[in-house]
Amino acid sequence: MTPRWLSWARLRAVAPEACTVAALLAAVWGGLAAFIAWQRHEDAVDTLVAARRLALASQESIARRTDVIDSTLRLLRSVRERGYAEAVVTALAQAGADGPLFQIAFIGPDGRLLSSNLEPVTSRLDLSDREHFRIHADNPGRDELFVSLPLIGRASGKPSIQFSRRVGDAEGGFGGVMVASLDPRLLTELHAGMGDTRGTLSLYGTDGRLRARSPAGEAGLPPALEQRLAEAARRGDAGDLLPLPGETAPAIGAYARVPGRPLSVAVTFDRADAIARSAARRRLETGGALAVSLLVILGGIALGARRLRLARSHRDAANSREALRAAVEGISQGIVKFDPAGRVVLANRRAAEILCLPPAALAARPRLVDLIAAQHRRGEFGEEHPDFDRMLTIAPEEWTDISRLHVYERTRADGTVIEVRTHPLPDGGAVRTYTDVTERRAAEERARHFALHDPLTGLPNRLLLAQRLDAATRQGQPCAVLFLDLDRFKPVNDLFGHQTGDMLLRAVASRLRPELRPGDMLARLGGDEFAVMLPEAGEAAATALADRIVALVSAPFEIEGLVHGIGVSLGIALHPRHGLSGTQLLRAADAAMYRAKRAGKGTWVVYEDSMGEAAAEQLTLEQDVRDALRNREFFLAYQPVCDAASTRVLGFEALIRWRHARRGAVPPSVFIPAAERAGLIVAIGDWVLEAACAEAAGWPAPIRVAVNFSPPQFLLPDLCDRVRAVLRRTGLDASRLDVEVTEGLALADADIVLQNMRGLREMGVRISLDDFGTGNSSLSYLCRFPFDKLKIDRSFVLNLGDDDGSRAIVSSVLSLGRSLRMTVVAEGVETSLQLQALQCDQIQGYLLGRPLTPDQARALLAQQATLAAAA
């Protein structure tokens, strides 16, 4: 028998309430589920960002340490290969055994230990079965840095990772292995030194096998995750690590190949740990949802009971209101509900806390305008509140207007930032939420600071300086701008590394800061360029500061025990004399700085109108270059490249020339820099390549053509596709094209350059290093980049007769070229004496031929073919 309270009539009566309760519960829990999912996603995103940042920092640090180890191996190998075995023994004996790099050793070609810094080698320990010996012994043609799996050193007895390089013998064969032993715990020290020790830091070789892991005692990663990282290491990929569907131990992280090194780094975080930080918050929110659900259920029961028994409805409604209040009290935001007249009808305790009011103040049901007036009297608003005067005088019946007006923020005197958001209700009332967003605003302010300041020195950057200058010039304030460029900084940066260069830049900034007045601004513009803005200052104050800066920067700097001497050149511009905007002032100060550079450096120059005229002439020249390219005014001349022994023509170097209607013959040393400034150098390079290949396609094989490539061309990601397309259109075989680059090409940090060189080599194109010995010379260029040919600069060739230094340099380059199996070409050969003294492979110069027109070049080749046939 059906109970009386469960009769069909009763159920039908409470059906609307039951449907409402179900809908509300679905909304509450659906919203909670969506919000928790969003929070989990945000936690995962934050963890991924941290992994990327840690992976990038680890990648850079490991690259620097690998370069130091590899440079040591190369240096000792070079000494050993030159026959100075005792020097290697001495160097190894003097090397310390403390620190992460605790052993450096030399293993002979038979696999026995010949030299070590740990102790005199007497036992000739057999290491022929070690992987770091076998990889070089079994692959004599490969000269690559190898990083071994972790092992226990037989000589040292310590855990180590072996870094090794092949050593050649006198005949170019296998002469042994140079080995450096590194403590695997270095990765743990590196991890700990980055300020974020969460997660796991792993180091893999290109074979996908683990080399080291931090923390040192960390257990292995799940097999599926380990396999993914190993495959990424073998491919040399870089990317993010996100959980795969169905993984039992999902992880979040990032991985990347260490550029130019046989290593990959991976950073992984446990996803469960990543989302654990918000677990307490989710429990609170779940509790609030439970309370709201209880409220909804109780409300539905109350409404249903009201229909069934009017006498109990008031009590049930009271219970519902109490449940609602309990639910609202569990929410982290301050919530206040107003009726259509603007009076408080509901407020939680958090609202009273945020508004700095006693709970009884809101319980008294005050009007919103009374609350605002009281807060205004405490000085909370200032001028931040929109339509504040209207708010104080609004009539109650107009409250519905004001309830839709604003979402705003206000900052209190103690720095607290409150967000106020008003949500209108259908009945004319509104719900207002109060949220403490202080932490969020602080994070945004930090981001703004990073956007306007140099991360290396902490100084304002170019953007912030431009804003200050524009504000001063718009207001008509007099000011001075000093443009600083450090002298002799690049040799320090190249010789001692970027870390020393960065420390030197910070030291310069530290010396300059105390010389400024309050209100002055010192900014770093980038590289080794700084600027100073002096508000309300004239020429006397600017030049006095310039004198002090020259003296300060010229004084020696001590960086990590080494003393470095640099200098500074300054340009000075004054507002309004030299410009009416910040851009004009910086341009004028920059022009004056270049005049100071040309005057001998280590001095300052005040801008003059003639400098502007020079700048205008540069702009005119740039426009003329642009017109010349459009009107096809450039043409090519071809200088013969001959065999040094027989003087037979082997090819031609294509040289760009320009004859202007007004300027006459303009040398490349003038118009090439103008083309670079105008952004036309790539277009000109494309034209030269197309024209030279088209001409060379008509020469008899195997006559070659050499084309000079500019640095911007080598930074093009599609350079190889461009060259391949030109060869296809002109019909020239890739084996007959030489690409020449100068030492001025900043190769060290451009991975795209190395990628392009390798791509050209794979096509069959040969690559020459032009003007060797005159630029930022670095033997590491010859080791890292695939050059086929070295070209000795003409300045050394011209001085062969009476300059011992030039003869020594030429002799060294010839020896170096033979050792590296590179063709050596001498440029600027003008006399028979120079030809006899060179003893190189190929020559260029007026002795054997000046630059020729295309017709003259073809005639010379025909004459050479005739003579060859007659012989």
Region 276-303 average pLDDT: 73
Spatial separation of the C-alpha atoms in residues 194 and 702, rounded to whole Å: 56
Spatial separation of the C-alpha atoms in residues 278 and 283, rounded to whole Å: 9
- Pairing type for strands 789-792 and 430-436 reads unpaired
The confidence band for 550, taking pLDDT boundaries of 50, 70 and 90, is very high
Residues 643 and 565 occupy one common structural domain = no
Q: Is the pLDDT of residue 732 over 90?
A: yes
Q: Is the pLDDT of residue 253 over 70?
A: yes
Pairwise pLDDT comparison (835 vs 166), residue with the higher score? 166
Question: In this structure, are residues 114 and 127 in contact, taking their beta carbons and an 8 Å threshold?
Answer: no
Return the DSSP state at 403.
Answer: T
Give residue-wise pLDDT tens across range 447-484.
777 778 888 899 999 989 999 999 998 888 999 999 99
Taking alpha carbons only, the member of 474, 588, 577 closest to residue 531 is: 588
Q: What is the pLDDT of residue 747?
A: 46
Helix (H) or strand (E) holding 526: strand 521-526
Question: In this structure, are residues 521 and 484 in contact, taking their beta carbons and an 8 Å threshold?
Answer: no
List strand residue ranges (DSSP E) for 348-448, in order: 407-411, 417-424, 430-436
Residue 8 in any domain: the answer is: no
What are the backbone angles phi and psi of residue 432, rounded to the nearest 5°? -115, 130
Give residue-wise pLDDT tens across range 780-829.
567 667 788 888 777 777 776 666 666 777 777 777 777 778 888 888 88
Which tokens go with 366?
């005050």
Average pLDDT, the chain: 80
Spatial separation of the C-alpha atoms in residues 765 and 758, rounded to whole Å: 10
Q: What is the pLDDT of residue 235?
A: 85
Residue 460 in any domain: the answer is: yes
Residues 599 and 639 occupy one common structural domain = no
Q: What is the pLDDT of residue 98?
A: 46
Domain coverage including residue 485 = 453-607
CATH number for 426: 3.30.450
Give residue-wise pLDDT tens across range 738-779.
999 876 554 444 577 888 889 999 999 999 888 776 554 456
Range in 82-91, 217-226, 246-255 the model is least confident about: 82-91
Pairwise pLDDT comparison (592 vs 277), residue with the higher score? 592
Q: What is the pLDDT of residue 308?
A: 63
Residue 388 in any domain: the answer is: yes
Residues 418 and 475 occupy one common structural domain = no
Q: What is the pLDDT of residue 319?
A: 65
CATH number for 576: 3.30.70.270
Spatial separation of the C-alpha atoms in residues 157 and 324, rounded to whole Å: 71
Handedness of CA 154, 155, 160, 165 (dihedral sign): negative
Q: What is the pLDDT of residue 382?
A: 57
CATH number for 660: 3.20.20.450
Q: What is the pLDDT of residue 85?
A: 53
Q: Is the pLDDT of residue 511 over 50?
A: yes
Pairwise pLDDT comparison (370 vs 697), residue with the higher score? 697
Region 533-540 average pLDDT: 92
Residues 260 and 395 occupy one common structural domain = no
Question: In this structure, are residues 755 and 735 in contact, taking their beta carbons and an 8 Å threshold?
Answer: no
Residues 688 and 810 occupy one common structural domain = yes
- Give every CB contact of residue 703 below 8 A, 6+ residues apart in sequence: 649, 650, 651, 652, 696, 736, 861
Taking alpha carbons only, the member of 74, 83, 153 closest to residue 118 is: 153
561: alpha, beta or left? (left if phi > 0; alpha if psi -120 to 50): left
Question: In this structure, are residues 825 and 844 in contact, taking their beta carbons and an 8 Å threshold?
Answer: yes
CATH number for 206: 3.30.450.20
- Give every CB contact of residue 229 below 8 A, 6+ residues apart in sequence: 202, 204, 208, 221, 241, 255, 264, 266, 268
Give residue-wise pLDDT tens across range 309-345.
654 555 665 666 666 666 666 677 788 888 887 788 8
Residue with tokens 């000011």: 479
Range in 175-184, 505-514, 726-735 the model is least confident about: 175-184
Q: What is the pLDDT of residue 749?
A: 46
**Which of 238-247, 298-307, 402-411, 620-629 is modeled with the greatest confidence?**
620-629
Task: Please identify, among 558, 576, 607, the residue that sits at the C-terminal boundary of a domain.
Answer: 607
Residue 141 in any domain: the answer is: yes
Q: What is the pLDDT of residue 509?
A: 94
pTM for the full model? Answer: 0.41
Taking alpha carbons only, the member of 580, 452, 581 closest to residue 524 is: 452
Give residue-wise pLDDT tens across range 172-211.
788 899 999 888 777 677 776 666 667 788 888 888 888 8
Range in 227-236, 397-406, 650-659, 723-732 the model is least confident about: 397-406
Residue type, 591: A
How far, CA to CA in Å, does 376 sit from each of 347, 412, 739? 20, 11, 75
Q: What is the pLDDT of residue 435?
A: 84
The confidence band for 97, taking pLDDT boundaries of 50, 70 and 90, is very low
Question: In this structure, are residues 780 and 748 in contact, taking their beta carbons and an 8 Å threshold?
Answer: yes
Residues 543 and 635 occupy one common structural domain = no
Residues 570 and 705 occupy one common structural domain = no
Q: For residue 575, how many other CB atoms are within 10 A of its CB?
A: 25
Q: What is the pLDDT of residue 689?
A: 95
Residue type, 568: V
Residues 504 and 603 occupy one common structural domain = yes
The confidence band for 270, taking pLDDT boundaries of 50, 70 and 90, is confident
DSSP result, 661-696: TTTEEEPHHHHHHHHHHTT-HHHHHHHHHHHHHHHH
Return the DSSP state at 168.
Answer: E
Residues 708 and 783 occupy one common structural domain = yes
Residue 24 in any domain: the answer is: no
Q: What is the pLDDT of residue 80?
A: 79
What are the backbone angles phi and psi of residue 364, rounded to the nearest 5°? -80, 0
Spatial separation of the C-alpha atoms in residues 720 and 571, rounded to whole Å: 42
What is the distance between the terminal CA atoms of the chain, rounded to a whole angstrom? 127
Residue 671 in any domain: the answer is: yes
Residue 86 C-alpha from the chain's centroid: 43
Task: Please identify, among 581, 607, 633, the residue that sits at the C-terminal boundary of a domain.
Answer: 607
The confidence band for 386, taking pLDDT boundaries of 50, 70 and 90, is low
Give residue-wise pLDDT tens across range 392-433.
555 555 544 455 556 777 777 777 887 888 888 887 788 888
Give residue-wise pLDDT tens across range 149-180.
888 888 778 888 889 999 988 787 888 999 99
Residue 694 in any domain: the answer is: yes
Residues 753 and 857 occupy one common structural domain = yes
Residues 400 and 524 occupy one common structural domain = no
Region 841-860 average pLDDT: 90
Q: What is the pLDDT of residue 761?
A: 92
**Which of 226-230, 314-318, 480-484, 708-712 is modeled with the greatest confidence?**
480-484
Residues 672 and 724 occupy one common structural domain = yes
Report the number of distinct structural domains present in the chain: 4
Give residue-wise pLDDT tens across range 17-49.
778 878 887 877 887 777 777 777 777 777 778
Q: What is the pLDDT of residue 531?
A: 95
Range in 84-98, 481-495, 655-669, 831-845 the model is least confident about: 84-98
- In the chain, the percentage of residues whose pLDDT exceeds 70 is 81
236: alpha, beta or left? (left if phi > 0; alpha if psi -120 to 50): left
Residue 225 in any domain: the answer is: yes
Range in 86-90, 148-152, 513-517, 653-657 the model is least confident about: 86-90
Helix, strand, or coil (residue 166): strand
Task: Please identify, among 441, 461, 491, the residue that sits at the C-terminal boundary of a domain.
Answer: 441
